[in-house]
Structure 1
Amino acid sequence: MVSLSNIAAFALVALTMVLTPGPNMIYLISRSITQGRLAGFVSLFGVIAGFVFYMLAAALGVTALLFAIPLAYEAIKWAGAGYLLYLAWNAVRPGARSVLEPRTDLAVDPPGRLFAMGFLTNLLNPKIAMLYLSLLPQFIDPARGDVLMQSVLLGTTQIIVSFAVNAAIVLAAGSVALWFAHRPRWAQAQRWIMAAVLTALALSLGLDRRQA
């Protein structure tokens, strides 16, 4: 089985990843504020389902096969970059509001759509697949037993860390929104910072070149 030191190290990598602002965090905050904590948790389970998909794909070698096919990799990469740019534009377009600003003009989505959107948001982030493909294997030691089980154990560690952090985000979204509501300049700055981060992520993803 995986050593405790490797589990701890990978958990730290997972923590760093989930604390970095990105589509998952933005979607969960937005939905939690506009539709309540229950909707936020339903969306979160959709995000977690995306993690499970990538974990199993990586463990079974499907992700490696995907990255071995240039056209498939490019399609996912550009879809992800485009989605990030779309989120960035929505943050700063004329009349846009901060994701931390409560809104009452949004349609209430049913649980099935909330789950599907959470799943899609995570699935359209190729960085997650790259994380599992490039980083997870470094924490696996074939000498310690079944490689598949080690992959699943490490992946489960990442999912637990991500769930804990994102659950805290869902629970705190309302309080954070209230803080920003009384500080409009900070809310405006937050929108531009978020757009800048998303744009940087999109450019990084679009300019990414795999090693031959």
Structure 2
Amino acid sequence: MPSLDAIIAVALAGLALSATPGPSMLYVLSRTVGQSRAAGLASALGLCLGGIFLAIATAMGLAAIFENSGWLVTILRYIGSAYLIWLGVDMIRGAKTDAPVTLNVEQVQQKPLSSIIWQGVIVEVLNPKTVLFFALFLPPFINPGNMQTGEVSVAMQLLVLGALVPLTAIPSDLVVAYMGGTMTRVINQERAMRERMAWAGGLMLIGIAFNLHLQIL
């Protein structure tokens, strides 16, 4: 099992990323406003299932690689930390420019809930940015000391931490699905709040990246 510090850090990073308006939030919002609240919840469920599938695939793939090339853990730890810093800086840099942008919900084709769930799974699994995120985001939180216990321990760490990423997105997706059009108006009107949220999320990601190596907290 991963350490409590790693679990808390991954959960906070996941919350920071999911709480800011992005493609996934807009996808759920489009389904809610364009079809129904149930459709929005179905799309959120599909995204979550897709994320869990990626977490399982990442755990199996990276664990096998680490088993044969343990030195990769150290290298990916630094690459992953740099990736977290890049995400945080990018979030802060876009805070002021993205805040004034008006979110427009596109018209969607009416579909049964089962199709919407599968569509959400496919959208998440086939998104190359999401795949890259899992591959670079998880390794920094793996404890290299557990490499001696074998592949199962590494796989378990990757699986638990990877599952936290889609699970931490559930609260924000539920809020979006339930509030629907109200959420759209809030996001578009409260632009200062959007900017502050982006700054807070970006600084949190940067802080987590530095704490991985400095062990401040």
Q: TM-score, normalised by structure 1?
A: 0.61
Structure 2 unaligned spans of 5+: 66-102, 192-217
Following TM superposition, the consecutive aligned residue runs of length 4 or more in structure 1 with deviations greater than 2 angstroms are 19-23, 62-65, 142-145, 176-180
1:25 matched to which residue of 2?
25
| 2:7 aligned partner, one-letter code | I
Contact residue 54 and residue 132 of structure 1 kept, 8 A: yes
Could you tell me which amino acid in structure 2 is paired with residue 26 of structure 1? L
**Alpha-carbon shift at residue 63 of structure 1 (Å):** 10
Structure 2 residue aligned with 1:13:
13
Q: Is the 8 A contact 2:14 2:165 kept in 1?
A: yes
Whichever residue aligns with residue 98 of structure 1, its letter is: N
* Structure 1 residue 177, shift from structure 2 partner: 4.0
8 A contact 1:29–1:40 mirrored in 2: yes
Q: Deviations over 1:141-189 (max 9, x none)?
A: 1424611111111112222211122112111223224668xxxxx58xx
Q: Give 2:154's aligned amino acid.
A: V
Change (3 A) 1:62 1:110: farther
Q: Which residue number in structure 1 is paired with residue 136 of structure 2?
A: 134
Match of 1:98 in 2: 104
Q: Please tell me whether the aligned partners of residues 11 and 161 of structure 1 are also in contact (alpha carbons under 8 angstroms).
A: yes
Q: 1:160 aligns with which of 167, 171, 188?
A: 167
Count of aligned pairs: 148
Note the C-alpha offset of 1:22.
2.8
Deviation at 1:53, TM superposition (A): 1.7
User: Could you tell me which amino acid in structure 1 is paired with residue 11 of structure 2?
Assistant: A
1:172 equivalenced with 2:179 (yes/no): yes
Residues 134 and 64 (structure 1 numbering): CA distance in 2 closer, same or farther, change over 3 Å?
farther
8 Å contact from structure 1 (residues 50, 123) kept in 2:
yes
State how far apart, in whole Å, the 2-side matches of 1:31 and 1:3 are: 37
Cα deviations by residue, 1:96-153 (Å, 9 ceiling, x for unpaired): x921x8x6xx542111221122122222322221121112011011424611111111
Give distance in 2, aligned partners of 1:57 and 1:63: 10
Q: What is the identity, as a one-letter code, of the residue corresponding to 1:140?
A: I
Matches within 5 A, 1:89-128: 98-99=104-105, 107-128=109-130
CA distances 1:28-51 after superposition (whole Å, capped 9, x unpaired): 001011222111111111111210
In the alignment, the residues of structure 1 paired with residue 64 and residue 45 of structure 2 have an alpha-carbon distance, to the nearest angstrom, of: 25
Could you tell me which runs of 5 or more consecutive residues in structure 1 were left unpaired when the two chains were aligned: 66-96, 181-185, 191-212
**In structure 2, how many angstroms separate the alpha carbons of the residues matched to 1:18 and 1:34?**
21
- Alignment partners' CA distance in 2, 1:50 and 1:17: 17
Separation in 2, partners of 1:55, 1:129: 9
Q: Give, in whole Å, the separation in 2 of the partners of 1:60 and 1:140.
A: 14
- Taking the aligned partners of 1:64 and 1:165, their CA distance within structure 2 comes to 33
| Native 8 Å contact 2:45 2:117 kept in 1 | yes
Aligned ranges 1:49-128 → 2 under 5 Å: 49-61=49-61, 98-99=104-105, 107-128=109-130
TM-score scaled by length of structure 2: 0.59
Contact 2:51 2:163 in 1 (8 A): no
